[in-house]
Structure 1
Amino acid sequence: MNPVPLKYRLVLLGLLPLIAGVLYFKGQKYDPALIDFKTTQRQEVSGPVTSPQAIQESQPLPVNQDIAGFRRVGEVRRYTKENLYEHVDGHAEYFISAGFQGLTVTEYVSAGSKATQAEIQTEVFDMGRPIQSFGVLVDESGENPAPVLVGTMGYKTSGGVNFIKGRYYVKISAFSTNTPVINFAKAFAGTISPGQDSFRIFAKFPDIGKVVKTRFAKEGYRGLDFLHNVIEREYSTGNGKIKVALMADSKLETGRLLSSFSDYFGKSGMRYEKTEKGGTDVYRVMDKYEGNWFLIRSPNAVFGVFGTDDEEILKFFMKEKE
């Protein structure tokens, strides 16, 4: 390799101070946003957010009314999925996973009182669908709650009343034992419009005896991972106790569910006999764990009937209520 001539080396040595000067000058023209962490905000792209104003427009709630001798005090507070944790810290994920859309909180004092401290607090959770509001009510009411005639279904709590009306799950809390909370709750429920999606799902259940218990399975009903949002009612009949589970309540859901059952029967090797009665498909399932039971598909619902394999029970499902 030939050495670099002396004259070129001298030229390069002469350029070094000039190059250093250019680099220093360029270095002073930095972008402050690259290092000024206190004044620069990170921009994030997120999904659609439900605003408090949108919640207000979608919830026809009595936030500005005097109710049953009580007047509203303080500001109406509204919460979305993004800030629900501010009101129910530690429990927000439960509501969101159950279908939560928005929450409106109001407080009331006696109409003639000059007090500013609330005597009653109302929390109205928009759960999106009636079956989802029902599921939350059942989950939060505990074992053997005391029923009250408020809304579509209500229960007395240690500090007030919980009830549902349409897609709304409502919690009313009284801060004094002398507060007529049930009277207030009835009046409050009367001012809530359930909207077009009213809670009529119980009308689909057959009248086969006295209802002993109603429960809600959010997911994994009877150990089947494809069964979600199932309402089960236990009846006392002349032939013992029978459980009826409403597994699907719309035409779209029935098709999907029957497909899932078909896959399950095939993979598990579970035997069944299929018949058709008056436009209703009936599957008599021979289950070695549950005993024989019926899977009943009508145009707009799918039921499971447990505790009997007497075909007399099928007559109650032949004319499903719309």
Structure 2
Amino acid sequence: MSKKSLILLVLLFPVLAFAENVEFPDVDGWQRDGDVKTYNRDNLFERIDGASEFYFSYAFEKLYVAEYKKGDAELTIEIYDQHDPVHAYGIYSMERPASADTKSIGLEGHYDDATLNFTTGKYYVKMNTYNVDDAGEALLMKVAQQMAPTLCKNPKLPAQYAAFPQENRVPHSQQYVSTNFMGLSMMGSAFRAKYTGSEGDFTLFIMHKKDKEAAAETMKKYQEFSQAETIGTKEGEYTINDPFNGTVYLLWKGNYLVGASGKVTSQEAFKLAEKAMNNLKPE
């Protein structure tokens, strides 16, 4: 097919509101207000000034925005490309209210006060309405259910989130902290979830390092920071007296560090860490 024929074919059969593999739907009774707007790392501040650095820390790549109108009513859809499912679910989880009534949209979503957010695949979608009856919940749910399969047909919870044992876990508490976990730069990123144990509430966390050597380096620096009398260099169980975070129990295997902090006994901590580690594949 010649270049001229290809151009003619595109003109005869236009694709509705697309940007790469991101498509915005037709919404019955609503009109698109202008073209789809796109943002990258160079101009994201124009859309979310003050919050762009937070999104960058979750591997932000692009943002696509479409706006709709129906008389005085407005509907806005934002689709954030966060590079991969780990980061997309991660930033969604950090912005999800603790009391959120989660819904089965894509991988997971929630509605709150004229806003519906959901995540699926590498995308984090934020939708909101203005001047719509009943805050537009029915409209947002319908459009979200229509969009989700076009972004990712079979979304799956990334392995690190799924590794947290279910017993005594606070529902929907899995999160991904992209940097400076526990306020310490040496720790890097970590997955975490809340639990209720015999002593009270505590946090179980998973640190996924690129290899065993990187995990060993983190362990070394953390022990030095905590002024341990001796620096352990072998895989196994560690009890760290962190001057900022209290007693931290850590299980090290391969490129994974699984630990617990808060109101938890060493027995509970290491038993749960072992269960989580068994759900992972240390290298």
Q: Give the structure-1-normalised TM-score.
A: 0.65
Q: Deviations over 1:54-76 (max 9, x none)?
A: x933xx2222x336x46662422
Task: Tell me the CA shift for residue 227 of structure 1.
Answer: 2.1
- Asked if 1:258 is matched to 2:216, the reply is yes
| Residue 224 (structure 1) shift | 1.7
Structure 1 residue 308 corresponds to structure 2 residue 248: no
* Partners of 2:207 and 2:29 in 1: CA distance: 42
2:170 aligned with 1:211, yes or no?
Answer: yes
Q: How much identity, in percent, do the aligned residues show?
A: 21
Provide closer, same or farther for how the CA distance between residues 300 and 284 of structure 1 changes in structure 2, counting only shifts above 3 A: closer
1:315 Cα deviation after fit = 4.2
Q: Deviations over 1:188-218 (max 9, x none)?
A: 2232127999744311223342325444433
What is the CA-CA distance between 1:272 and the residue it aligns to?
7.3
**1:165: Cα distance to partner?**
1.5
Report what 1:112 is aligned to.
none
Give me the whole-angstrom Cα distance separating, in 2, the residues matched to 1:231 and 1:320.
14
1:184 aligns with 2:143: yes
Pairwise CA distance, 1:123:
0.1
Which residue number corresponds to residue 56 of structure 1?
19
Change over 3 Å in CA distance of 1:83–1:318 after alignment to 2: closer
Could you give the per-residue CA deviations for residues 29-58 of structure 1, whole angstroms, max 9, x where no partner exists? Answer: xxxxxxxxxxxxxxxxxxxxxxxxxx933x
Correspondence 1:140 to 2:95: yes
The question of 1:122 aligning with 2:81 is answered no
The 5-angstrom pairing of residues 240-251 of structure 1 reads: 240-248=200-208
- CA separation of 1:190/1:116 partners in 2, compared to 1, >3 Å: closer, same or farther? farther
Counterpart of 2:41 in structure 1 is 81
1:247, CA displacement in angstroms?
1.7
| Alpha-carbon offset, residue 142 of structure 1 | 4.8
Alignment of 1:255-294 (within 5 A): 255-266=213-224, 268-270=226-228, 281-287=235-241, 289=243, 290=245, 292-294=247-249
- Bigger Rg, structure 1 or 2: 1
1:193 aligns with 2:148: no
Q: CA contact under 8 A between 2:106 and 2:148: conserved in structure 1?
A: yes
Q: 1:141 touches 1:157 (CA, 8 Å); kept in 2?
A: no
Counterpart in 1 of 2:112?
157
Task: Report the Cα distance in structure 1 between the residues aligned to 2:200 and 2:51, rounded to whole angstroms.
Answer: 39
Q: Is the 8 A contact 1:132 1:229 kept in 2?
A: no
SS of residue matched to 1:75: coil
- TM-score (structure 2 length as normaliser): 0.73
Q: Which runs of 5+ in 2 are unaligned?
A: 1-17
Alpha-carbon distance in 2 for matches of 1:84, 1:242: 36
Query: What is the Cα deviation at residue 239 of structure 1?
Result: 5.9
- Kindly indicate whether the alpha-carbon contact (under 8 Å) linking 1:129 and 1:197 is maintained by their aligned counterparts in 2: no
Q: How far apart, in 2, do the equivalents of 1:233 and 1:204 lie?
A: 10
Using a 3 Å threshold, how does the CA distance of structure 1 residues 208 and 164 change in structure 2: closer, same or farther?
A: same
2:207–2:258 contact (8 Å) kept in structure 1: yes
